[in-house]
Amino acid sequence: MDKYKYHGKSYEGFETLIDPVKKSFRLQKRIFSALLILHTAFFIGVICYTYDDYTIRSSFQWLLCKGISVFFPYTPMSFMEPDGKMIIISAQDIYENSNLSSFAQYYLIQMLINFGCCAIIYLTFPFLLVWARKRSRKLSHKRYLSGANLTSSKKFKKIVRKKKDKVSIPCGKIKIPERVESKHCLMMGVTDSARSTFICQLINHLKKRNDKIIVYDSGGQYLSRFYNPETDFIFNPVDKRTIGWSLINEIDSKQDHDAITSCLLSDIKSPEMKEIAKSVYSGIFSSCIHNKKIKNSDIYKLVSGDFPSISQELKDVKEATEGYRHISDPSSRHAMSVFSIVSQYAKCFEYMTYNDGPFRIKQWLKQPGGIIFVSTDLNSHDKLMPVLTLFLDLLCQRLLALPEQLKHPVYYILDDFVSLKRKNYLLRMLLASASKGGRVFLGCQDFDQIDNLYTRDARHLMVNNCGNHLFFRVTNPLSAKICSEIIGETEFFESGRTLTGTSPQMQKKREPLVFPTDIMNMGINQALVRFSGYDPLMTTFPEKSYKEKVLPLIRKS
């Protein structure tokens, strides 16, 4: 292996040390030469403008004869008299002429003064040197051609003013243009990044504007800071402060049956079995309404009972005929398989048993202002996951089902949305909610979580239908690569570089605007932002703490 060892020599790499000195000296020499030429030209122009031809010619001829007379005193010279007549006279006679001598000496001194005054041009030497260095540095930098282009906060604000876009929601040192809010936003970043800081900024600002907000708060950190019992609601079946909500209250028509059962049974993979289970649950709801058993406890009592009792309850209800058809014979194998699926989702209603009340999602959406915090904690998260997913899915479905756009926008802030079950209406929200006034903000730690819960194709749909992207620090290399690809590539000209410096030949290159390693190494308070219709930029979030006003959870006894 010795032959691969590097043996350093004292002279190796010497050119890289001396070459910058040579180039610097060459640059200074060229600047000085240019200034000397300008100085001479300026001096000639001044004396030609100030003195007549006789004064200039006789003064310099006397000076010339002074030098010639030392070695060749009798050299004949052509001399012009004041009247313009030309005579031939020796160099010594011209030099020793007392009148001409005093005349020439006076004007030569004046011209010397003029020459010195013209030398003021050399004061520009340091400025020209700095300009030349900046110019050469600029030429050696990348020259943007096409593709993505990273801008600054200052330039972004200038472009926003030029486009006359209104801004409102703060995002670090900048504000989000109002016209891009309806494009939805994807927030990607680890737990200790500025993602939660931005969400706090967002909720705080929307609350001041009295906007309608739906917040999924898996840890209760946003609830504890922004919850106001006079205007806001909490949906958490194990929290004392939770809203009174009965699932039957949401049913007004057959379409409501379909919407609720679609949300409840969204993770059944078999389309055939899913439709069967939907018809059975629709029959159960119809039976409860028919018998005026509209409490959550009534639904739970029915779905958690034995199979024959469920079949008997649906038998005499006309609206439950389709569901009853699949379980009319409780002893059949088909009916038993249907019952096993129905019983799996019975647990969902157990935690809503004591949460009955008059709250209706439809009515709440039509009223301005207010926040719904859909919260949970680590201890009860797995148990409440189906209920929380059902409630959030219904919040999405109700907005999409509105006949016309709301007068006020509704903001869906779903941070760590992958901690829930797969939401049936989430993709539809991204596709169609803008026309109803919906504004969706999705947050998670990396793209693998989305791929695992949904699919890679679904993730592509989410990314494509979120026109705004906020990328905070991520630790997953694959997610960092995807973030880099979303930001895009840039095409530019760049000077070729060698060991001895920069080559004047420009090379066309194409590379990611932001490399994955740059995203992985971002600061805790930094974010890479890309709004729809704007160039991406880097922004910084101030370290601001929001005080906790209430407890994140007051558990029921």
**Tokens read off for 511:** 């590379």
pLDDT band for position 13 (50/70/90)? low
The answer, yes or no, to whether residue 48 has pLDDT greater than 50, is yes
The answer, yes or no, to whether residue 496 has pLDDT greater than 70, is no
Identify whether 526 is part of a domain.
yes
Identify whether 357 is part of a domain.
no
Q: What is the pLDDT of residue 139?
A: 61
Q: What is the pLDDT of residue 525?
A: 92
CB-based contact 540:525 (threshold 8 Å): yes
Identify whether 22 is part of a domain.
yes
CB-based contact 197:395 (threshold 8 Å): no
How many domains are contained in the chain? 3
More confident residue, 491 or 196: 196
Q: What is the pLDDT of residue 4?
A: 46
Residues 201 and 293 in one domain: no
Q: What is the CATH number of the domain that holds 198?
A: 3.40.50.300
Taking only the tens place, the pLDDT of each residue in 61-72 is: 888 888 888 888
Q: What is the pLDDT of residue 502?
A: 53
Give whole-number Cα distances, 343 to 12, 156, 330, 487, in Å.
79, 55, 14, 46
Give whole-number Cα distances, 187 to 47, 174, 190, 407, 469, in Å.
72, 16, 10, 26, 6
pLDDT band for position 226 (50/70/90)? very high
Residues 380 and 466 in one domain: yes
| d(C-alpha 461, C-alpha 464), whole Å | 5
CA atoms within 13 A of residue 503's CA, in its CB half-sphere: 10
Query: What angle do helix axes 271-290 and 333-344 make, rounded to 10 degrees?
Result: 70
Taking only the tens place, the pLDDT of each residue in 147-167 is: 778 899 999 999 999 999 999
pLDDT band for position 324 (50/70/90)? confident
CA angle, 439 then 442 then 443, to 5°: 145
Residues 168 and 132 in one domain: no
CB-based contact 420:392 (threshold 8 Å): yes
Identify whether 445 is part of a domain.
yes
In terms of residue numbers, what domain contains 298? Answer: 248-352
CB-based contact 252:289 (threshold 8 Å): no
| 446, amino acid identity | D
What's the pTM? Answer: 0.76
Residues 420 and 467 in one domain: yes
Residues 126 and 158 in one domain: no
Q: What is the pLDDT of residue 1?
A: 44
Taking only the tens place, the pLDDT of each residue in 503-537 is: 556 677 788 889 999 999 999 999 999 999 899 99
Taking only the tens place, the pLDDT of each residue in 111-153 is: 888 888 888 888 888 888 888 877 776 665 666 667 778 899 9
Q: What is the mean pLDDT of residues 343-367?
A: 85
Out of 77-81, 251-255, 277-281, least confident range: 77-81
State CA 517 to chain mean position distance.
16
How many CB atoms are closer than 10 A to CB 374? 23
| d(C-alpha 423, C-alpha 522), whole Å | 31
Identify whether 506 is part of a domain.
no
**Tokens read off for 92:** 């010594």
Point out the domain boundary residue: 139, 166, 187.
Answer: 139
| d(C-alpha 84, C-alpha 173), whole Å | 79
Identify whether 467 is part of a domain.
yes
Quickly list DSSP for 59-89. Answer: HHHHHHHHHHHHH-TT-EEEEE-TTS-EEEE
Point out the domain boundary residue: 123, 139, 155.
Answer: 139
| d(C-alpha 458, C-alpha 53), whole Å | 90
The answer, yes or no, to whether residue 402 has pLDDT greater than 80, is yes
Q: What is the pLDDT of residue 505?
A: 63
Residues 86 and 155 in one domain: no
Residues 388 and 347 in one domain: no
Residues 168 and 291 in one domain: no
Identify whether 2 is part of a domain.
no
Residues 6+ apart with CB under 8 A from 297: 353, 354, 356
Residues 416 and 386 in one domain: yes
Residues 459 and 532 in one domain: yes
Point out the domain boundary residue: 139, 160, 179.
Answer: 139
State CA 388 to chain mean position distance.
30
Identify whether 93 is part of a domain.
yes
Residues 412 and 453 in one domain: yes
Q: What is the pLDDT of residue 268?
A: 82
Give whole-number Cα distances, 443 to 182, 416, 459, 533, in Å.
16, 5, 13, 21
Residues 436 and 533 in one domain: yes
